[in-house]
Amino acid sequence: MSVLTIKGLHAGIDGKSILKGIDLTLRSGEIHALMGPNGSGKSTLANVIMGNPRYEVTAGSIDMDGQDVLALPVHERARLGLFLAFQYPVEIPGLGMGKFLKRAVEARLPEGESVNVSAFLKEVRADMDWLSFDRAFLGRSLNDGFSGGEKKRAEILQLLTLKPGFAIFDETDSGLDIDALKIVAAGIERMRGPGFGALIITHYRRILDYAVPSLVHVMYKGRLVLTGGTEIVRDLEAKGYDWIREGYGSPEDEIEAEEIRSGSALAEATHG
């Protein structure tokens, strides 16, 4: 069993503190969901785990099976078995998707080993058929001109090809129609097992109906304020995030809310 352990993590960007003491343990075989209002720090956590250089870690640790993740450059984190699926996958004109997948697999092999091209292509094509993804896309530039659903299929194809130990899905379900959503969820479920763990960052219940999480976490103002089962997802869908703000907010939050209410009342009085 592999374990990804985050302890006391503080991080920010451009001098602004965003994560304020995150403690989270993700074990292989588990799928966790991370929810919370916009601006809570969910995507910041994903970026920090994968080593986006724009973010600065000011305290805490990230450890994977005894390895200090924060000490590793991005490519070494990927080689270790970490994977990030983006909300908005980047288009890379001129880089063929087939060549990209082959090179990514080669980068994770021990020194001196090489890819069996025939076996590699056979497996990738079988995965594309399973994803209902036209094989012709292997010859196209990565994500270049792809629709939103095609980009997300390409992300799941990367997941199935690389077989990481831990994957983070940063709002991968955003903007998907129901057919594409089901395929994304099916890809996650296909990976589910003793050698794989996942953190699904989402605003919506619908993907969690297909890729059911072991645990659900709620982030608010850079902290994990609630952890539990899927009943949390149902509560959030029914009540929104107001009960989170009321139950876990700080006095500063109340001042901010009062200022917003006062400003709205003044605008209404002024403009009728």
Domain of residue 60, CATH code: 3.40.50.300
Residue 130 belongs to some domain of the structure = no
Domain count, the chain: 1
Res 271: pLDDT: 43
Residue 38 domain-assigned? yes
What pTM does this model have? 0.88
Residue-level pLDDT at 249? 67
- The residue range of the domain holding 195 is 3-91+165-240
In a domain, 195, yes or no: yes
For 14, residues 6+ apart whose C-beta sits below 8 A from its C-beta are: none
Each residue's pLDDT tens digit, 126-183 = 999 999 999 999 999 999 999 988 999 999 999 999 999 999 999 988 888 898 899 9
**Beta strands at 55-64 and 67-68: parallel, antiparallel or unpaired:** antiparallel
Q: How confident is the model at residue 272 (pLDDT cuts 50, 70, 90)?
A: very low
In a domain? residue 260: no
- Percentage, residues of the chain above pLDDT 70: 91
How do strand 55-64 and strand 215-220 relate by DSSP bridges? unpaired
- The yes-or-no verdict on residue 259 having pLDDT over 90 is no
pLDDT at res. 250: 56
The helix (run of H) or strand (run of E) holding residue 148 is helix 148-162
Q: Is residue 252 a part of any domain in this protein?
A: no
Let me know if residue 49 belongs to a domain: yes
Pick the closest to residue 211 from 162, 173, 165, 160 (CA basis).
173
Q: How far apart, in whole angstroms, are the C-alpha atoms of residue 156 and residue 154?
A: 5
- Angstrom distance (rounded) from CA 199 to CA 166: 8
Average pLDDT, the chain: 90
216-256: per-residue pLDDT in tens? Answer: 999 999 999 999 999 999 999 999 988 888 888 654 444 44
Does residue 52 form part of some domain?
A: yes
Please check whether residue 147 lies inside any domain of the structure.
no
